[in-house]
Amino acid sequence: MNKKALSAPYLFWSALFIIVPLCMVFYYGLTDKSGAFTLQNILAIARAEHAKALWQALLLSLGSTVLCLLLAYPLAMILCSMRTRQHSFLVLIFILPMWMNFLLRTFAWLTLLEKTGVVNNVLSFLGLPPLNIINTPSAIVLGMVYNFLPFMVLPIYNTLAKIDQNVIAAARDLGANGVQTFLRITLPLSVPGVISGITMVFVPALTTFVISTILGGSKILLIGNVIEQEFTQTGNWHLGSGLSIVLMMFIILNMVVSAVTDKDGEVNAL
Amino acid sequence: MIRRISQKIYIGLIFVFLYAPILTLMVLSFNASKSRAKWGGFTLKWYSQLFQNQDIMEALWNTLAIAGLSALAATLIGTMTCVALGGMKKRSRTLIMGITNIPMLNAEIVTGISLMLLYISLNMRLGFFTVLCSHITFNIPYVILSVMPRMHQLNPNTYEAALDLGASHLQAFFRVTLPDLMPGILSGFLMAFTMSLDDFVITHFTKGPGIDTLSTKIYTEVRKGIKPEIYALSTIIFVAVLLLLFLVNYTPREKGPKKERRL
C-alpha cells in the first residue's frame, strides 16, 4: 500500500478550493470589466472613503488586539497555575460559548449595553456614570475583544504550560525576585505564543464586517464592510477583489512578522 | 492568600464577560414581550411556537446537516492526509502544511469571496452543495492540526510488531495505528463540527438565495429584530451541549495511563 497516495484527495481538494479561488481573487483584482490588466482596483484603496475605512479598521483591530493581550496574559498565567481540572475549565470558558451562535452572542451585547440596559443598571447601582457606547467604535472594540479573546488565551496558555518549571526554579535559586523571573524568563519564553495570539486576533478583527454591522449600527464602515458591500450589494467584484488584495497584504505582512519572530515555524492554532 | 483570591476574582470577571451575553439570550427566551428591551413576564410560548416555525426548523436542519456532513468529510480527508504525511519527505510535508495554514490564517471574508468567485465561474448554482464544499474546505485544517500531534507520538514499533505477527498492512493500520490516532480524530471531528456550526461569513458568501442556515437567518433578522423563537432554540442547543459535556466528564470511566487532549 502506497501511503503517499492517501494525500491525493486533499491535494486535489486544496488545489481546487484553496489555490484556484485565491488566484481568482488576484485575477479579478488585477483586471477591469473588459478583462484588461489594471491596477485601479488596488489603488482605489487611496480613495477617501476606502482609506478611511481601512484606517478605522486598523485602529480598532490594533486596539482590540492590545486589549486582548492585556486581558489574556494574566488569565493564561492563572490557568497555568491551577493544575486541577484545568482542561474542563478551558472548554467551559472557550469552547462552550461557541455553541451559541456568535451573531446572537454579539447581538446580546446590544441588550446589555442599552441606555437602560443591564450594564447601566449595575453601574448606576454602584454609583458610577452610565456607559453610552452603542453604535460607537468602543462598542465594536468590545465586540472584537469578546469574540476573539479565546484566540489570544489559548496560544499563550500553550507556551506557558510548556515552560520547564525547573528553569523558573533555577532563576529563583540564582537570586531573581518574582518580577525579574517574569521579565527575564517567563515573558521571553512565551513570546511565540504571544505572537501567534496577536496574529489570530488581529486578522479576524481587521477584516470583520459582522461585528461592525451589529454593534456599530451600520454607521461605522470598516474595510470589511466595504468589501462585503462590493460583493453583495454594489456587485463590483473587481473593486471588491482589489481591496481584498490590499487586505491580504496586511495579513501577509502580519504572517511574515510572526514567522520571523517564531523560529519554530509551526503555527500553533489551538 | 490575597493572590489566590484576586486570581479567583479575575477568572470570575472574565467568566462573567464571556457568559453575560449567553445568560441574556437565555433570559430573553422566556420573555413574554417581543421587544428585547423590556421584560413582559415569564412565558414558555416561544418554545412551543419554535417547533411550528417551518423556516427556523429548516434552517436548523440545514445547519446540522452541513456541520455533520462537512465534519465527516473533513475528518476522512484530513486523517488520510495525516497518514500520508507520515511517509513523506520533509519538503512535501512543509508544502502541504503551508497550504493547510492558508485558510486558517487568511481572513474569512477573503476565503468567502474567493470561493464565491470559484463557484460562479464554474457555473455552480449557489446553494446547499456549495456551502457544504466550503465548510469541508475550512474544516480540513482543524482535523489535520488535531491529528498531526497524535501522528508524531505514534510508536512505529507497534506497527512493525503487528506486521511481524502476521497482520497485513491494512489490518495493522486499522487495528494498531487507527486506534492510536482515534482521540485526535475525534477531537478534530468535534472541532470541525463546532466551527461549521458557528460559521457565518463563509456561508454568507457561498449560500445563494433560497437557503438559510441559522447564522444567515439570524443575520437577516438582526435589523428587523430577532424572533424570540431563535433565542429559545439557542437556549435548547446550549443546554443540551452543556448536559452532554457534564455527562462525558463525570461518567466514571476506566483509568488509563494515557492523558487525553481533547481540545
- Stretch among A215-219, B133-137, B183-187 having the lowest mean pLDDT: A215-219
Domains of chain A by residue range: 48-261
The Cβ-side half-sphere exposure at A51, using a 13 Å CA radius, reads: 5
Residue B20 inside a domain? The answer is no
Of B230, B28, B224, B234, give the one whose Cα is nearest residue A111.
Answer: B28
Question: Which domain covers residue B163, as residue numbers?
Answer: 58-250
Residues from chain B contacting residue A86 (CB–CB below 8 Å): none
Residue B111 inside a domain? The answer is yes
Q: What is the pLDDT of residues B56-76, one digit of tens each?
A: 999 999 999 999 999 999 999
pLDDT in the model for residue A269: 40
Residue B147 distance to chain A (closest CA, Å): 12
Across the range A48-65, mean pLDDT stands at 94
Q: What is the pLDDT of residues B125-166, one digit of tens each?
A: 999 999 999 999 999 999 999 999 888 888 888 888 998 998
CATH number of domain containing B82 = 1.10.3720.10
Cell of A243: 481591496
Q: Which chain A residue lies closest to B8 (C-alpha atoms)?
A: A78
d(CA A215, CA A136): 8
Nearest-by-Cβ selection for A99 from B96, B133, B241: B241
Residue B133 inside a domain? The answer is yes
* CATH for A48-261 (1.10.3720.10, 1.10.10.10, 1.20.59.20, 2.40.50.140): 1.10.3720.10
* Cβ <8 Å between A104 and B86: no
Cell of A217: 449600527
- The band of A106, judged by pLDDT with boundaries at 50, 70 and 90, is very high
| CB-CB neighbours of A69 under 10 Å | 17
Where are the alpha helices (H) located in chain B, listed in sequence order? 2-28, 45-50, 54-86, 90-105, 108-121, 128-153, 156-164, 169-172, 178-198, 201-206, 214-224, 228-250
Q: What is the CA radius of gyration of chain B?
A: 23
**Residue B257 pLDDT > 70:** no
* Cβ <8 Å between B114 and A112: no
**Residue B261 pLDDT > 60:** no
pLDDT in the model for residue A87: 64
Q: What is the pLDDT of residues A126-148, one digit of tens each?
A: 888 888 888 889 999 999 999 99
pLDDT in the model for residue A86: 62
Residues from chain A contacting residue B9 (CB–CB below 8 Å): none
Q: What is the pLDDT of residues B83-126, one digit of tens each?
A: 888 778 888 888 888 888 888 888 999 999 999 999 999 999 99
Q: Give the total number of structural domains in chain B.
A: 1
Which of B72, B83, B104, B118 to substitute to test the interface with A, most A CBs within 10 Å? B118
- Stretch among A234-238, A251-255, B249-253 having the lowest mean pLDDT: B249-253
**Residue A91 pLDDT > 80:** no
